[in-house]
Chains A and B, each alone.
Chain A
Amino acid sequence: MNVASRLFSLILLVAAWYAGSEIAGPRMLPGPQTVGFALWAEAQSGALAFHLGATLARVAVAFVIAMAIGTALGVWMGRSRLADRLADPWLVALLNLPALVIIVLAYVWAGLTETAAIIAVALNKLPNATVTVREGARSLDRQLDEMAQVFRMNRWMRLRHVLVPQLAPYLAAATRSGLSLVWKIVLIVELLGRPNGVGFEIGIAFQLFDVTRILAYAIAFILVMLAIETFLVQPIERHVSRWRPKAA
């Protein structure tokens, strides 16, 4: 039933796409089979793998940096009132700074380099991760902390067995919203100042008004992110929440 309804919804989407392309004409909205062939051609030439790889690498590096710093900052702010008061205005400023402003400034200050691109993306994701993890750190159980202290658990044990499991739902939420945010921003960064990647390719296609190629790359990337969600994020989430009593 579940699979069937999802499949029906997907078929409806493709049908609507097909109908739309009939109405708007193949130049404005090429049909599914045209885009499918373009996707296949790009895959055959190796261009698809190259650009997808470049983009995914940027997503991965920026995501890891943002999550690591954001988690550390979030835990610190969640546990210390002074830290929260000191860092909160910075966080609000960063949260409300448009992504485009951060990207342009990074390129102006650090040049059109890979480092500037990664920093710009990571800075865009950082406040979002910090705010989510701070919420988690605020709800940490002091009683378990005391238990760990009385039983003389070392720092590593406390981190791994007491702190991280409590933060797991918040880390999962930050990961989920983070991945989709990061890849969208990586595309803009590539469009504005990198010589490769899906964003760069879409930029070229835009100049040529090549809607087919734009859709082909977009679909390829959506498929990759869907695979990451299904085969990486969800299994990890299931594993870390295996101890929770199942709902009847």
Chain B
Amino acid sequence: MSPAGGPKQLDVSITHKSYRAVSGGSIEVLHDMAFTLKSGTVGALVGPSGCGKTTLLRIITGLDTDYTGTVHLPAHGKLGMVFQEPRLLPWRTVDQNVRLGAPEATDSDLDVLFGVLGLAAHRHHFPGELSLGQARRVALARAFAVKPDLLVLDEPFVSLDAALAKHLQEELAALVTSRHVTTLIVTHSIDEAIGLADRLFLLSASPAHVIAEVPIARPRSPHTPEELAAIRGDIARALGKIGK
């Protein structure tokens, strides 16, 4: 499926990215930020808030082109994105919102997606009639309907209550597993990252770079408390090494 010569994986190598501060001068947000995400796997970017994760995603998705370095998107570079806010068009129905994001999606594709995400009853509602959790589901449906070469999620479960976040996270895990989409998720929750990813990329404080990578042995399957403790130990050791 991938084009001749086109890379299958996501390659990010940003040497430098800074913002001009209001008071003059510039603030460096990213410095030597480099990582590779293999095709069909899920990578989680974990780091302190304000470390530049959203900036990094804006560069990867092409919304910000003012940086030095290179970003190679997998295959054709078709993107599916779930922003922090649902970002639906309020004047279009749930169904239209998804179709506008993914004009090539077939009716049966959408039937399946709406079914899996529990949205079948809301297809003809407007976003103003949905709860935040439902709107987030629509944003997920839109991103998956694209059949993206790269799925990007920017803290997709922020400001949901814990039970709902957990539930949506499980739905996302199921979708990612069944569709083998190369996925990059940004989160500040280590638990969320462990529950979803094949590989964690731990980021430093600003200016951000990858300080350690932690592979997860059995991704997206229930972990015993011992396994969880071991993974957390790995993360602590990885962070500890840097501290020295």
A151 at the interface (CB under 8 A from B): yes
Please encode chain A, from 125 to 169, with 1 for each CB lying within 8 Å of some chain B CB and 0 for all others.
000000000000000000110110111110001000110010010
A161 near B92 with CB under 8 A, answer yes
A8 at the interface (CB under 8 A from B): no
**Nearest A residue to B92 by beta-carbon distance?**
A161
A240 near B87 with CB under 8 A, answer no
B62 near A150 with CB under 8 A, answer yes
Q: Which residues of A contact B102 (CB under 8 A)?
A: 151
**Nearest CB of A to B10, in Å:** 15
Q: Identify which of B78, B100, B142 gathers the most chain A CB atoms within 10 Å of its CB.
A: B100
**Nearest CB of B to A46, in Å:** 44
Q: Which residues of A contact B79 (CB under 8 A)?
A: 150-152
B89 at the interface (CB under 8 A from A): yes
**Nearest CB of A to B82, in Å:** 10
User: Are A151 and B101 also in contact (CB < 8 A) when A146-B63, A244-B128, A245-B128 are?
Assistant: yes
A165 near B89 with CB under 8 A, answer yes
Number of residues of chain A lying within 8 A (CB) of chain B: 18
Q: Which residues of A contact B128 (CB under 8 A)?
A: 243-245
A147 near B83 with CB under 8 A, answer yes
A149 near B63 with CB under 8 A, answer yes
A157 to B97, CA, bound (A): 12
Give the residues from 185 to 219 in chain B that come closer than 8 angstroms, CB to CB, to chain A: none
A150 near B91 with CB under 8 A, answer no
B182 at the interface (CB under 8 A from A): no
Please encode chain B, from 88 to 125, with 1 for each CB lying within 8 Å of some chain A CB and 0 for all others.
01111000100011110000000000000000000000
Q: Which residues of A contact B61 (CB under 8 A)?
A: 150
Q: Which residues of B contact A149 (CB under 8 A)?
A: 62-63
Q: Which residues of A contact B80 (CB under 8 A)?
A: 151
Q: Which residues of A contact B129 (CB under 8 A)?
A: 245
A143 to B89, CA, bound (A): 10
B33 at the interface (CB under 8 A from A): no
A161 to B88, CA, bound (A): 11
Q: Which residues of A contact B101 (CB under 8 A)?
A: 147, 151, 153
A243 near B91 with CB under 8 A, answer yes
A46 to B206, CA, bound (A): 79
A165 to B100, CA, bound (A): 14
A150 near B89 with CB under 8 A, answer no
Closest 5 CB pairs of A and B: A165-B91, A243-B126, A147-B87, A151-B101, A243-B91
